[in-house]
Amino acid sequence: MVYVVRNSDWATALMRHPVNTLALISLLIIASATGLSATAQTAAEPAATAPAAQGGARPSLDSLHCTHPGNCVSSVGQWAVPPLEAFGTAPQAREALLRALAASPEARIVREEPLYVDVIFTTTLGFKDQVEFIIDPQGRRIDFRSRSQVGLWDIGMNRRRIGALRARFEQMQGR
């Protein structure tokens, strides 16, 4: 995981204060000690996109495991919930999924392939959650992982989101 510190007017003004500079240095030391990496970056340099966003290989079901159940819900792994049950072919399941996602104003599709969909949901408070879907080639199920991008606890938001999405998905399939 890489944390990026961008150089902007407010960040520059904030960093002029010695206490804030010390806080940022402490944060970078903690990140480094816990195995995270931090990078300073100017506004002119765009952040690098993840390999998956650059058209890399579709993730496997193993990549959908939740590492922390407090901010993640998945249809795979130790704390799994049932996958979305699909009827028909994989393209029909994908279309029903895309229609269900289109009904959510918080959803923004960032990557779409025949058997894979990656979505970012932005909450009203500005928190971003990533939801990945892997469609079974026979179209019988759609596995997923919905996880918060920040924090260890999501107050149940990802679980509620999947529940609402499941209801919309079933409605799109005529059930």
DSSP secondary structure, the chain, as one string: -EEEEEE-HHHHHHHTSHHHHHHHHHHHHHHHHTT-EEEEEETTSPPPPPGGGGT-PPPPGGGG--S-TTSEEESSSTT--PPEE--S-HHHHHHHHHHHHHT-TTEEEEEEETTEEEEEEE-TTS-EEEEEEEE-TTSSEEEEEEEESS-S--TTHHHHHHHHHHHHHHHHTT-
- Express each pLDDT in 95-123 by its tens digit: 999 999 999 999 999 999 999 999 999 98
Q: Is the pTM of this model over 0.85?
A: no
- Express each pLDDT in 61-70 by its tens digit: 888 999 888 9
Which residues sit opposite 140 in a β-bridge?
A: none
Between helices 90-102 and 157-172, what is the axis angle to 10°? 120
Report how far residue 143's alpha carbon sits from residue 14's, in angstroms, rounded to the nearest whole number.
Answer: 43
Mean pLDDT of 24-41: 41
